[in-house]
Amino acid sequence: MTAFVRSISPTFAQSVTDRLLTQRPILGELYFTSLADGRMARETFVRSQRQFYFAVRFFSRPMAALMSRMPDSSSRRTLMRNLAEEHGLDDAEDGGLDPAMAHDRTFLAFLATLGVSQDEMCSETEGSEVRAFNLALLGACFGESPSFAYACLGAIEYAFADISALLGKAVVDRGWIAASELVHYKLHAEIDKRHAAEFFKEVGPDAAADAEAGVAFGLHIFARLYSELLRVR
């Protein structure tokens, strides 16, 4: 296993992410442009978000896989905090866990505002489009170098902050959800750049190649997921 080494310039992996997103903006993907300009039907959006739930529910598992490879408590700290937030860490309650604030639960609450009940989601099955993303991310965190994995996770979190802001604005602008009822995406628009920065800081020194490859891989599988969600039937 590649040794875990702490830490390169915290801006390096972010600068790679900014450069690659400039070269190929993820918000330029058809999923986002068609949602923003009104071409995407509400039914298409709801169908795609029902499937995206399985990516939200799975996301902590690749992080846990990466954490299992870290040799000591110091090197696990960033992942432990992120995993706690995924499961409802509430700073206002002295670091306790609020089950209702776990990210899979807040996403179910978001789906409920779109008229999708939890009973309906119990009968929903994960499609190949989302499974491919989930297993690719798990493989990166379990089988690639820690620097590659941290850069991959950071790039996804970094992109998701802007995605969340766009999706939140679009569903409110189109009248699908009242601004006062918007959940999940409002939270992630606010916190995911911080999560990304925390992951980027864990990229090891002398790991420029792994960092660039990890960022490119993360952005690739994330953009591909949204492209394929448009084809879900």
pLDDT, residue 187, reads 67
* Domains observed in the chain: 12-229 (1.20.910.10)
Residue 37 pLDDT > 80: yes
pTM value is 0.90
Q: Which two tokens stand for residue 4?
A: 């875990």
Q: What is the pLDDT of residues 151-201, one digit of tens each?
A: 999 999 999 999 999 999 999 999 999 989 888 787 666 778 888 999 999
